[in-house]
Amino acid sequence: MTKNRTLICTFLALLSGFSGGYLGGQITLTLHTQKCQSQAWGLKEMCNALVAPGAVWQGSTTGLWTGTVLGAFVGGSLTRQSRQ
């Protein structure tokens, strides 16, 4: 049972981490590019190009760590064995 529990926890942690990384990158990118909306067309495109890499990196890293920790916690809670 311990081997199955480890596999389930690892799978949930990785799945949650990658999902959190993707969603975190997308959300942070959207929030950062909203700052560029008040610029003229050419400056807006330049602003978006400058802001995008840092925003995606920041959001993906945060989402990856948060998702992995939460996924491992949920996986451990779901597979916990009750003592009788």
pLDDT digits over 12-59, tens only?
Answer: 999 999 999 999 999 999 999 898 888 888 898 999 899 999 999 999
Alpha-carbon dihedral of residues 9, 15, 19, 20, nearest 10 degrees?
20
Query: Tell me, what's the pLDDT at 58?
Result: 92
d(CA 16, CA 12): 6
78 pLDDT tier (thresholds 50, 70, 90): confident
* Region of poorest pLDDT, from 3-7, 41-45, 51-55, 79-83: 79-83
Q: Is the pTM of this model over 0.95?
A: no
Domain regions of the chain by residue span: 2-78
Collapsing DSSP to helix, strand or coil, 40 comes out as coil
